Amino acid sequence: MKEVLELSYIDTDDWGRPVYKDQFEKLWKDVELGDRETPSLCSVSGNSFDGEPDCPINKEFVILTPFIKNNKRFEYMMLNRLKSDCETHLDIENKYRRKLKEDEMKATIQAMKDYWNGFEEDEKPEWLTWDQILDYEKRMAQTV
């Protein structure tokens, strides 16, 4: 009887690779970043979540809990980048900070508002609220 690996999605690593675990606690990473219907899986060096993909899977497998790609991933990443730009601009402790010019500040805040408003209510990020965006806008205006 042929052994079939039963895989469940557990999380995504720092490189955007979906990570699966089989019934034997072995980890597998999708080197195609979840872009294909059938994942392109490789074992993980050291069987560590942070390990690099190693050898391609050579056994039959079935996905019990699939990875569901977030269609708004780019928008979340851009919003997080803009938030980081605001925080860097406002970091008065860092003498090497990159200060945004007035037109860049306005464009950054407007882009944040546009991305944030582009999410449905249940998609809005917990790590950035509308009030926080308005607070960034107010605080950055004081640096002009």
pTM score:
0.56
Distance CA 9, CA 39 (A): 11
- pLDDT value at position 94? 63
- pLDDT value at position 3? 87
Residues 21-61 have pLDDT tens digits of 999 999 999 999 988 889 999 999 999 999 999 999 999 99
- 100 Cβ contact partners less than 8 Å away, ≥ 6 residues apart: 85, 89, 108, 140
Residues 75-89 have pLDDT tens digits of 988 999 999 999 888
Residues 51-65 have pLDDT tens digits of 999 999 999 999 999
Percent pLDDT > 90 in the chain is 63
Domain boundaries, the chain: 5-65, 73-141
Q: Is 33 exposed, middle or buried (0-12, 13-18, 19+ CB in 10 A)?
A: middle
Element holding 78 (H helix, E strand): helix 73-90
Cβ atoms of 98 and 63 closer than 8 Å:
no
Residues 88-135 have pLDDT tens digits of 888 866 666 667 888 999 999 999 999 999 999 988 988 899 999 999
Give the total residue count for the chain. Answer: 144
Neighbours of 29 (CB within 10 A): 26
